[in-house]
Structure 1
Amino acid sequence: MLASPTAGFGSLLPLLKPHRRRLAAGGVCMLIFVACWPLLAWLAGQLIPAIGAGDLDTVARCIGLALAVFLLQKAAQFGQDILLAGPALRVSQELRRSLFARLQTLQFGALEKLSAGDLTYRLTEDADRVGEVIYKTIQDTTPSALQLVVVLGYMVWLDWPLALATLLLAPLVALLVSSFGARVMGAAERSQKQVSELAGLLGEAINCLPLVRAFAAEPWLQKRFDTEINLHRQARYRTLKLLALQHPVVGFLEAAGILSVLLIGAWRIQAQGLNSQGFSSYVAALLMLIDPIAHLTTNFNELKQGQASLNRLRAIEAEPVEPPDRANPEALGAVRGELLLEGVSFGYEPSQPVLRGVDLKVEPGQLVALVGPSGAGKSTLFSLLLRFNTAQRGQVRIDGHDLACLRARELRQAVALVPQQSSVFSGTVAEAIAFGRPASAAEIRQAAQLANASGFIEALPQGYASRIEERGLNFSGGQLQRLAIARAVLGNPGVLLLDEATSALDAEAEEAVQMGLKQAMAGRTVLVIAHRLATVQQADQILVLERGTIVERGNHRQLMAAGGRYRELCERQFIHLQN
């Protein structure tokens, strides 16, 4: 779970700079909108006594002027809202875009610790809430605050003793609103955390429903889900209870304030400090304060909830990212595929090394198999070759170049990965093979042929334009794995990393994939993580890893004859020397 640092909305101000002209035009409309309020209060002061006196000419003139002012004000309000909405939405969009870009650069050690459901909630619901707060701050909170200042200024001009008495209640209201806001923010953070937990459980549940059903574990899963939604309900209820309490308390204070003003106003008229027209204008102005105060109160609560969301978004920025390329990176050029590891040590935690002093040389075009128990460091070795992580001691070289001195993008174009579980994005088959890289139709077809995938692709109703559904549900495991191989060999990488690419397939699918792998491996340096040792007996080198070190190395016959750990692993899988 990501920690939530404190982040202010002021940190988003630089994102508004490109929209200065639009904001300035919206600001002019806002000033016109706000300036109409004291004018309307003055007209109310003229209108009310005229109605009492039956002066129809004055009533008609005041109503006509009021209609004109209302028309101007509403036109300005429309201009304000439409001009300011764009920049606010752009800020939300840019915030979400930059955070997603940041997410793609996080160190894999940090990324693997994060919940997919939690991250999804942050980049959708939390980002939307921050965008709404920005929009309301620009479009509603700012004009409400200005209206408050302008109308109060007009009230002071009308009768400062009466205005002073009115203002005595303001600190009490502000104190209550601030106190409620802090409590609402804390409750909102707890509520949002609970929603993230619920989203994480939902993601796991949806992906694992067949497994749950196979083990008849529906009651267990339902119980877990019921617990999470009950915790979410309780957290959300605490937030709503605070909001429900705030509204009547602040509303009562507002009503008490208005009644007090009426009493003091009657005293000021009796003392001849204010006439009836002035008092009518004052009361109209006072009524004009109710709406902005209500808006500011509501928006302050939403600001606190948005603050909690912004904190959760900014937490992503606090996570460590991949180290950048060096200032003057070396050019890799055409890759022969020679790999060299010298005294390489690495640990995700410094006190717990995963690899310890690994030495390895792979000649161009060799097939090297990595075997050993889970946690021995095989996948970590792959992550170093792709520079997902950087060796803390020793060097990793490709064709004599230290990986730390290369551009990461150029390196990853030369070293391709075929994962154990093939993952493809929804889209067309051609898009899945190209995977965001510029490639012609001929290059995509050539990659598919190398991966032994062209046959089933061309048999599809729309061929390479056929759609892949989310998670590839309309394709078999073997077909998806061959698409993953085609994706890997597109661009002709010099090194191929295979993470037991056939372990999850049935015999028929495995045969098709093995044919694709054989064609894809030709002429390349290949490293393969192998759990089924029957698939790697033809390897030029077999490395046995245990606890981060290479304990045995050699080919199949040499290691079987040595009678060590490799032979023990083979015999467990009923593989003998004659094989």
Structure 2
Amino acid sequence: MLAPSQAAGRDSLRDSVRRLWPLMRPHRRRLTAGGVCIVIYVLCWPLLAALAGRLIPAIGAGDLATTLQAVLLALLVFLVQKAAQFGQDTLLAGPALGVSRTLRQQLFARLQRLEFASLDKLSAGDLTYRLTEDADRVGEVIYKTIQDTTPSALQLLAVLGYMLWLDWPLALATLLLAPLVALLVSAFGARVMTAAEQSQRQVSELAGLLAEAIAGLPLVRAYAAEAWLQRRFDAEVEQHRRARYRTLRLLALQHPVVGFLEAGGILTVLLIGAWRIQTGQLDAQGFSSYVAALLMLIDPIAHLTTNFNELQQGQASLQRLRAIEREPVEPPDHPGASDLGAVRGELVLEAIAFGYDPGQPVLNGLDLRVEPGQVVALVGPSGAGKSTLFSLLLRFNVAQRGRVLLDGRDLADLRAAELRRAVALVPQQSQVFSGTVAEAIAFGRPATPEQIQRAARLANADGFIEALPSGYGSRVEERGRNFSGGQLQRLAIARAVLGDPALLLLDEATSALDAEAEDAVQRGLSQAMAGRTVLVIAHRLATVQQAERIVVLAGGRIVEQGSHNQLMAHGGRYRDLCRRQFIQLES
């Protein structure tokens, strides 16, 4: 009966093959051609062993003619074998790299569809490690498996078959050592896989800390917290060193143990061979061929041992990649989902209830109606449900009860891509992808230069863009670090209005800006909002006093709504919030 770790290892290997095999199918032709090269390469080994059996006695007897003939034949066999080896290595590299590429592409595509609750659980550093290092390791293991492990295993079989044909009693004695070696390799492999998983977890944690530290270095310096961060980093590095050392120590122990068994086996075979020659059951040429074949077993056994350990590490990487596949993704459009068509921008929420955790509702029986072209501000304390409401409007989340209607049509009945073309978000902290300014505004959508320039004018961004050395062709560096916060925010507004959305969602788009930048962005927002239905999340109440309607949320419900003057006169929560922010109370 298999031990639990061995059974788990076998199941894991079976799962790995089942996961990767469909990715290998498109490369059948190259795999077949590479397989032919492998067969030629492997069959050359018994031929070389047979030639060694002729060559060694001829050298001992001083037979120059036989020696020369055997050397020339061996050179010819070597030439054919090395040509076949080159063929297998080059032909099989393509499928291995192709599988790694496809696996990475599939996982990134799934990553883009993960539910946001799942994304929040995974750190950026960990995901980066999985999609780079882990994916590369899986590709390397596939390559070694088909380019090195398979030929080594076939070489073992071919050479052992030749040894059995030469002298089966001597070959059987040799084979008695094989189960012991296999058990040792398997036992070491299971422990190596466990150690490798721990090591990879530590690398992921280290990558996560690095990503966090690099992004937060200005804050660290501002608080003179360098020593604290260095201690955290040193501790993570030490944990990684220890985890990696455990893996390397296991590998270091395995090689001498297995090597000692191999050496002992060879010496035992030599002793038995000498006895069989003395008793006349084997001649010198046959024994020379047998010893040559025996020596040919050492290299493939070493390769199989090393590759088995790498296979275990590759399985650990594949399991980490498959963990992404097990995370829930955004629900797909249902079969009857339809396009939006022309949108006026009427928004109705009917008895909406939603919670991220069961029993803890964020929105609870919320009703709201927004007329086309109306500007509505959402205010309230943190946790009141303002951002959650935006996530429902973009269908990042789906209400557990109630309906969200856009122009009388339930969002659940619309195609998500069509909905998101009609609803645009301007977040509080603008993230602009690297590329040209024009690419940052277009954001993957087909757009003419005229359309991009029009969006920039609406966002009050055309002035600073045209002043750049290359205008709309100027580069936006990583994280937009070569632009100011106000410029980035105006690029984000241009990006939002490029598709002419009917519904504009503003998540306090000016709260992180200074007065001058805020004024420029506000002008852009005023132009972008014209003729659209607009919902504004407001943390600073001074920015929403001109909204047509202000909706006050608390506990997932609407507790007050009206204009600024109406709510101030009412004397409720809104007035209290204004008082706390030192806003003039007289209307």
One-letter code of the match for 1:237? Y
SS at match of 1:8: helix
Structure 1 partner of 2:314: 306
Equivalent in the alignment of 2:93: 85
Matched residue of 1:368: which SS? strand
The residue that corresponds to 2:391 in the other structure is 383
Q: Is structure 2 residue 67 aligned with structure 1 residue 59? A: yes
User: How do residues 501-512 of structure 1 correspond to structure 2 at under 5 angstroms?
Assistant: 501-512=509-520
1:467 lines up with 2:504 in the alignment: no
CA distance in 2, matches of 1:214, 1:576: 34
Question: C-alpha distance in 1, partners of 2:279/2:462?
Answer: 97
Of the candidates 43, 51, 65, which is equivalent to residue 51 of structure 2? Answer: 43
Q: Output the amino acid matched with 1:566.
A: Y
Amino acid at match of 1:499: D
Q: Secondary structure of the equivalent of 1:483?
A: helix
CA distance in 1 between counterparts of 2:81 and 2:108 reads 40
State which of 321, 343, 363 in structure 2 corresponds to 1:355. Answer: 363
Indicate yes or no: 2:458 matched with 1:450.
Answer: yes
User: 1:446 & 1:440 partners in 2: Cα distance?
Assistant: 10
Q: How does 1:455-534 map to 2 (within 5 A)?
A: 455-534=463-542
The one of 441, 444, 461 equivalent to 1:433 is 441
Q: Does 1:405 align with 2:395?
A: no
Change (3 A) 1:266 1:483: same
Question: Are the equivalent residues in 2 in contact too, given 1:162–1:261 (CA < 8 A)?
Answer: yes
In 1: Cα distance, 2:473 partner to 2:366 partner: 45
Contact 1:130 1:307 in 2 (8 A): yes
- The equivalent of 2:115 in structure 1 is 107
- Residue 539 of structure 1: SS of its match in structure 2? coil
4+ residue runs of structure 1 moved beyond 4 angstroms? none
Alpha-carbon distance in structure 2 between the residues aligned to 1:350 and 1:104: 25
Match of 2:138 in 1: 130
Q: Which amino acid aligns with 2:299?
A: D
Q: Cα offset for 1:10? A: 3.2
User: Which of 250, 256, 259 is the equivalent residue of 2:258?
Assistant: 250
Provide the rounded CA distance (Å) in 2 between the counterparts of 1:178 and 1:403.
55
Does structure 2 retain, via aligned residues, the 8 Å contact 1:184–1:305? yes
Does the CA-based 8 Å contact 2:57-2:284 persist in structure 1? yes
Check conservation: 2:578, 2:585, Cα contact below 8 A.
Answer: no
Decide which of 239, 242, 251 is 1:234's aligned counterpart: 242
CA RMSD in angstroms comes to: 1.1
1:370 — aligned with what? 378
Query: Which of the residues 21, 31, 39 maps onto 2:29?
Result: 21
Q: Percent identity?
A: 78
Distance 1:79 1:513 in 2: 62
Q: Which residue of 1 aligns with 2:222?
A: 214
> Helix, strand or coil: the match of 1:576?
coil
Letter in structure 2 aligned against 1:526: V
Q: Alpha-carbon deviations, 1:455-514, whole Å to 9, x = none?
A: 000000000000011111100000000000000000100000000000000000000000
Note the C-alpha offset of 1:274.
1.2
Q: Which residue of 1 aligns with 2:6?
A: none
CA distance in 2, matches of 1:529, 1:112: 22
Residue 542 (structure 1) shift: 1.1
TM-fit CA distance, 1:577: 4.2
Return the TM-score normalized by structure 1.
0.98
After TM superposition, give the deviation of residue 272 of structure 1 in Å.
Answer: 1.8
Q: Distance in 1 between matches of 2:410 and 2:59?
A: 90
Specify the alignment match of 2:269 in structure 1.
261
Give 5+ residue unaligned stretches, structure 2: 1-10
Matched residues in 1 for 2:18 and 2:161: separation? 28
Work out whether residues 345 and 391 of structure 1, in 8 Å CA contact, stay in contact via their aligned partners in 2.
Answer: yes
| Secondary structure, counterpart of 1:325 in structure 2 | coil
Find out whether 1:142 has 2:137 as its counterpart.
no
The Cα offsets for residues 321-362 of structure 1, whole Å up to 9 and x where unpaired, read as: 000001121221011111111111111112221111111111
CA distance in 2: counterparts of 1:91 and 1:331, whole angstroms? 36
8 A contact 1:557–1:577 mirrored in 2 = no
**Deviation digits for residues 119-175 of structure 1 (CA, Å, limit 9, x no counterpart):** 000001111111100000010000110001111011011111000000000000000
CA distance in 1, matches of 2:19, 2:36: 25
**CA–CA distance in structure 2, aligned partners of residues 374 and 174 of structure 1:** 61
* CA positional deviation for 1:22: 1.0
- Whether 1:424 aligns to 2:436 is no
| 8 Å Cα contact 1:417-1:498 kept in structure 2 | yes
How far apart are the structure 1 equivalents of 2:380 and 2:285? 93
CA distance in structure 2 between the aligned counterparts of 1:295 and 1:347, rounded to whole angstroms: 55
CA distance in 2, matches of 1:228, 1:352: 36
Report the more deviating stretch, 383-392 or 549-558: 549-558
Match of 1:224 among 223, 229, 232: 232
Q: Gapped runs of 5+ residues in structure 1?
A: none
- Separation (CA, whole Å) in 2 of partners of 1:232 and 1:570: 51
Q: Which residue of structure 2 lines up, in the alignment, with residue 118 of structure 1? A: 126
Alignment deviations for residues 43-66 of structure 1 (CA, whole Å, 9 cap, x no partner):
000100000011100000000000
Tell me the SS of whatever aligns to 1:396. Answer: strand
Deviations 1:268-301 (A, max 9, x none): 1122221111110010001000000000000000
**Which residue does 1:575 correspond to in 2?**
583
Aligned length: 576
SS of equivalent residue, structure 1 residue 496:
strand
